[in-house]
A and B are shown apart, each in its own frame.
Chain A
Amino acid sequence: MEALLNLAAGFEIAISPYNLLIAAVGVFLGVIIGVLPGLGGTSGVAILLPLTFTMPPTSAIVFLSCIYWGALFGGAITSILFNIPGEPWSVAVMFDGYPMARGGRAGQALALAFIPGFLAAFIAILLFTFFAPPLAEIALRFGPPETFAILLLAFSTFTGLGRGSPMKTIASAALGFILASVGLDIVTGQPRLTFDVIILLSGFSFITASIGAFGVGEILQSAEERLEFRGAQGKVGLRDLWLTVRQTGRCIGTFITGTVLGFWIGVLPGTGATPASFMAYGLAKQYSRHPEKFGSGAPEGIISTQSAAQSAGIGALLPMVTLGIPGSPTAAVMLGGLYIWGLTPGPALFVEQKDFVWGLIASMYIGNAMGVLLCLFLVPLFAAVLRVPAPILTPLIILLSAIGAYAVKNTTLDVWLLLVFGALGYIFKKLNYPLAPFVVALVLGDMTEEALRQSLIMSGGSLTIFFTRPIAAIGVAIALVLFFLPALAPLARRLLRSARPAAAPGS
């Protein structure tokens, strides 16, 4: 009840004309930031932070968080239309979004990202409104062993991801793991695989790798086939919206899993929307009735990833608001903003600065509603971009990718790496190696290794730490079952089959 009263007061603040205007501008800028590859929500928020110094704190946080909501929506657009991830968390959306768009259903693919994404965000905001403090307390119980268990789960859902040869899947993932280990090792402080090249100390960026391998690789391939993009048609009528809602209803299990999983992973400090979207994809595929359709435009592939990414985005702000701990890099930049606006982050903020906190929560509802409306209106415009002749569009996309790669770390090295990864992506496609395991290993490999080694330091080198802590034990146990399921299932089936004939003569 108290939450409802607070929320009502928050809405009073958030719907003041000034704050509504600020929110609209924020969402609009956010969508643009989301669309531009490489320029992530974090950089966007950081770049626009100075604009907030003259605003009252509540308007400032409304502005920044609305940029974030906009970027969460916008990231999907570039992924689906061009196979170039607009944001790290929209890499997984490409797996099915792009094939669907290429198949001539760009409008539908975008709607499938936006509407479930919005509904997921809405559910996540409800959870945020009513359960923020207790959820934050539970999140604190997740230490390195629990984080490791979750990441292990993410990998286990991905064992069946590569189509075709399992050896090729393993090779692709192994390459990702090797590249993930390049740089300064956080546990020992030693450089690994840098060959005394200073710039390699910062390692390979997963963003550059995925823009290159997917985006540039795709362009190289289509240039070879014939220089044009298929599937230029993209209009979203009311009928499409209705179809999308019905489609989401049919995949309700996938949608709910994505939303809840995404939200919780977002709440945990140090993980974020990117692993959430990959895990949701893996799970959706594992439990789909048509896993073979994944990767060629399955609606579940889009629904699961986008709903996870958007609810994780909301979840990531929860530890920031309740505890003053950044749940994601974007939240960390916003926390820095709090100091400049003259507020002190921490648990006291929730109690002492009610206007600020509830104004922010109310603006989440408003910002996300604005985001989905804006994006749906813009779909025909974005889809029209695909009608630009390929000889003009292709160089523009490459230019945009190069700028995006540069923006990741502000280094020209990443632009060269973009081309290298582009060539790699092309070779992978030609030789039928799956790309997804490569990027998943690159992005999650680092985090997983870190969590594993932190846990082992805590336990003095003993693996029992993963079985003596209840949450970690459950996670690891499920992950192990999932890992061996593909191997065990045929074995179990064979046992059953051989048991039956054996039983038959006796009966």
Chain B
Amino acid sequence: MGRNSVRVSMGLLATVFLSVGLVAVTTDGPARAAWQPSKPVEFIIMAGQGGGADQYARLISGLVEKHKLAPVPFVPVNKDGGAGAVAMQYVKGKEGDPHTIMITLSSFLMTPINQKLPFNYKDYTPISLVALDNFFLWVHKENPITNVREFVAEARKRPMTVGGTGSKQEDELIFSFFEQKAGLKPFKYVPFKGGGTVAANLVGKQVESTVNNPSEALGFHPDKVRILATFAEKRHKQFPDLQTMRELGYDITYQMLRGVFGPPKMPVEARDYYAGLLRKVFDLNDFQDFLEKNVLDPSFMGPEEFGRWVAGQHDLHEQIIKKAGWVK
């Protein structure tokens, strides 16, 4: 243990030395078992207040506080704008900082591709994946379409009006994927600012179908909305009868990462500390309840596994985006 803490201090000193060119800070004091944050942690959210990512970040920081899992508070800071680009740029500038972490969603992979930004997932330190969010295919309860077969038949006849969050983000990606695989007429895709608004427009019959995350539209089920299928790989235990798109003959699976990254070159000790902490949060009953109620797949990955997984996801997103013709 003692050796460990020496290594930590050495690592920190080296970082300070290299980046500032000064040896000014001492990190000794009573020898501690492992690295711990020594000041409040900035928990960057790459979306606005009230969105999905915001809810997860506030849930995690709330649970850390409630169960006293860390010696310092985790302060959620929204850096919205530019579909995540602003947050990514900010965290990129925090190179080597052990007190900044960022909660991400699919735009973490897609925005750098869409906007041709000078950075991408490779620049960040993967910490852990906490859950995979699902997407369902929804229609209004009063819609005569009751299953995917009927949906496809209708969508081959005429361009259906569908809605989703943002433009060239996950919802449009799924619809575009669906269009390609099932040979449908191009959807009239109406972009809205947030998932809650998308669900409201489905319930209000402004659009015919959406691919809302369960957490956004389940409140209306089964009185106002109908679920036709899930885009997950396997069926959900909460909905044992709900078929996956793959079972129905359309090879479309899509899940959204809910994971945490650190800035470039985050010290390994800090990375492992946060991964351990997130594991503790993940194991809490409160967190598991939340995942189950909102039909998220509980899937925890540590830094190395998460890093490999993200690289694969990046290539997949790049492929679909190119195929959809969003980026030349």
Chain A residues proximal to chain B, CB less than 8 Å:
42-43, 46, 49-50, 53-54, 140-144, 183-189, 191, 198-199, 201-203, 269-270, 319, 323-326, 329-333, 335-336, 339-340, 342, 344-349, 409-411, 450, 454, 457-458, 460
Contact = CB atoms under 8 A, between A and B. Distances in A.
A188 B49 contact: no
A183 B81 contact: yes
Interface in B14-70: 48-51, 54-55, 58-59, 61-62, 65-66
B80 A202 contact: yes
A340 B204 contact: no
A54 B191 CA distance: 38
CB-CB nearest 6 A-B residue pairs: A346-B219, A202-B81, A332-B50, A201-B82, A143-B206, A140-B204
A187 B208 CA distance: 18
B49 A46 contact: yes
B169 interface: yes
Contacts of A141: 204
B204 A142 contact: yes
A78 to B, nearest CB: 21
A140 B203 contact: yes
B219 A347 contact: yes
B219 A143 contact: no
25 contacts: A46-B78, A54-B66, A183-B82, A184-B83, A186-B166, A186-B191, A186-B193, A187-B167, A188-B168, A189-B168, A189-B169, A198-B82, A199-B82, A270-B192, A326-B194, A326-B196, A329-B48, A332-B51, A335-B55, A336-B54, A345-B219, A347-B224, A409-B79, A409-B80, A458-B207
Contact of A203 (B54, B81, B167, B200): B81
Question: What's the dominant secondary structure at chain A's contact region?
Answer: helix
Contact of A50 (B65, B86, B196): B65
A183 B81 CA distance: 8
Given A141-B204, A189-B326, A335-B50, 17 more contacts: A42-B50, A50-B62, A53-B66, A183-B82, A186-B193, A198-B82, A198-B89, A199-B86, A319-B200, A323-B203, A324-B220, A325-B199, A326-B50, A329-B50, A333-B58, A344-B218, A458-B207
Size band of the interface chain B makes with A: 35 or more
B188 interface: yes
Given A144-B206, A335-B50, A458-B206, A53 B65 contact: yes
Contacts of A460: 159, 188
A203 B83 CA distance: 11
A53 B62 contact: yes
A200 to B, nearest CB: 8
A333 B49 contact: yes
Contacts of B58: 46, 49-50, 333, 336, 340
A144 B190 contact: yes
Contact of A42 (B49, B82, B203): B49
B131 interface: no
Contacts of B55: 335-336, 339
B139 interface: no
A344 to B, nearest CB: 6
Contacts of B194: 326, 332
A140 B80 CA distance: 27
B106 interface: no
A410 B219 contact: no
Contacts of A50: 58, 61-62, 65, 73
B203 A43 contact: no
A143 B163 CA distance: 12
B176 interface: no
Nearest to B61: A50
A333 B206 contact: no
B180 interface: no
A73 to B, nearest CB: 21
B49 A43 contact: yes
Contacts of A345: 219
B59 A458 contact: no
B98 interface: no
B301 interface: no
A195 B49 CA distance: 27
Given A198-B82, A199-B89, A202-B82, A188 B167 contact: yes
Given A42-B49, A332-B51, A339 B196 contact: no
Interface string B74-109: 001111111101100110000000000000000000
A347 B114 CA distance: 37
A269 B191 CA distance: 15
Contacts of B169: 189
B289 interface: yes
Nearest to A52: B62
A340 B289 contact: no
B241 interface: no
A144 B163 CA distance: 11
A430 B201 CA distance: 46
Contacts of A186: 166-167, 191, 193
B197 interface: yes
B323 interface: no
Contacts of B309: none
Contact of A344 (B77, B200, B219): B219
Given A42-B49, A189-B167, A342-B289, A143 B62 contact: no
A326 B55 CA distance: 13
A474 B159 CA distance: 28
Nearest to A328: B50
B293 interface: yes
Contacts of A332: 49-51, 54, 194, 196
Contacts of A199: 81-82, 86, 89
A348 B200 contact: no
A202 B48 CA distance: 11
A185 B82 CA distance: 9
B115 interface: yes
Contact of A323 (B82, B200, B290): B200
Contact of B85 (A143, A198, A323, A349): A198
Contacts of A323: 200, 203, 219-220
Contacts of B48: 329
Nearest to B192: A454
> Which of A269, A323, A333, A339 has its CB near the most chain B CB atoms (within 10 A)?
A339
B311 interface: no
